[in-house]
Amino acid sequence: MGNFISPNRKLLNVEELSEYIGTPVGTLYQWVSQRKIPYVKLGRSTKFDVEKIREWISVNSVEEKIL
């Protein structure tokens, strides 16, 4: 049961995530179809776990280069 989502976890829809991370809805749907971003399918709805998105952003962040 490693993929179980706790009822206490916040799930966002694509419009909410778009606003949350400042990325267009169309781009988010592309990332979902390319499996570039963590998401949950609930029936026909695509949802995003806020904690998983924060982890994904952290892992995909590029550190600045100090000259």
The model's pLDDT over 3-19, given as tens digits with 9 standing for 90+, comes to 555 667 899 999 999 99
Q: Which two tokens stand for residue 46?
A: 């695509």
Domain boundaries, the chain: 11-59
User: Strand, coil or helix: what is 45?
Assistant: strand
The residues with which 41 forms a beta bridge, in sequence order, are 46
Q: Which two tokens stand for residue 9?
A: 């976890």
Phi-psi region of 9 (alpha: psi -120 to 50; beta: other; left: phi over 0): beta
pTM of the model: 0.80
Are 16 and 49 contacting, i.e. CB atoms less than 8 angstroms apart? no
pLDDT tens per residue, range 19-54: 999 999 999 999 999 999 999 999 999 999 999 999
